[in-house]
Structures are given as C-alpha cells and as structure tokens.
Amino acid sequence: MASGVKVELDENQVKTLAELGLTQSEMAAVLDCSIDTIQRRFHDLWLQGHQKRNASLRRKQFELALKGNPTMLVWLGKQYLEQSDKQQVTGANGGPIQAAVTVTFVKPNGDPS
C-alpha cells in the first residue's frame, strides 16, 4: 500500500467486521489498509462494533441460561453473583485441620509390643 494515498473504505464493511470481533490488525488485513488507517479513521466505529458484539453475546448467554442450560447458569452465577466452586475445609470450630500419625510396632510373631 502506497503511503500518503487515502484509501476508500466502506463504513458498513468496517462496522460489520467490527461486529464480528476482528482486531484492528485483522481488519486492516481484510480491508488491505494500514492499522493506522483503522485507528485514525474508524476507531470509534470499531469500538461500537465490539460493544454491539459483546451485547449480542451477553443476550444469548442469558437466553441460554434462562432456558435452563446448566453450564451457562453456573457461569453467569460466577460472573454476576460472586458464586464459586471453592471448597474450604477446616478442622473443629473452624480451626486448622489437625493431622496425626499413629505408629504401632508389631513383633515378628504378630503380637503388639
């Protein structure tokens, strides 16, 4: 691409690519222009496209969860309700777990000493 030449780009195509989630680098490759062109001329449009994609994904996730998808219900619970899979194991009265080792010596004839 020759520098200094203004590239004609279709804003609808830029918007569509952004809504698909392409990075600025990927978009520049598809549109055969520089990343700088995307950043200078279409940064806001690129951001809006990514936000629209994110909103669509979030909406679909909630739809799946509300239809009873167990995986999505668990994942959204972790994201929005601070739920987790953490298991905390404690000893008596919430204290530390006590470990003990008991050793029994046995005589060769099998009788304990």
> For the segment 62-98, what is each residue's pLDDT rounded down to a tens digit?
999 999 999 999 999 999 888 888 777 888 888 888 8
Structural domain includes residue 97: no
Structural domain includes residue 99: no
The sign of the dihedral angle between the CA atoms of 56, 59, 63, 64 is positive
Structural domain includes residue 61: yes
The mean pLDDT value of the chain amounts to: 87
Cα–Cα dist 62/51, whole Å: 17
Q: What is the domain count for the chain?
A: 1
Instruction: Return the pLDDT at 4.
Output: 62
Instruction: Return the pLDDT at 113.
Output: 57
> For the segment 6-40, what is each residue's pLDDT rounded down to a tens digit?
778 999 999 999 999 999 999 999 999 999 999 99
Q: Which residue has the tokens 């204290």?
A: 95
Instruction: Return the pLDDT at 43.
Output: 93
The model's pTM: 0.61
Domain that holds residue 37: 11-86
Structural domain includes residue 3: no
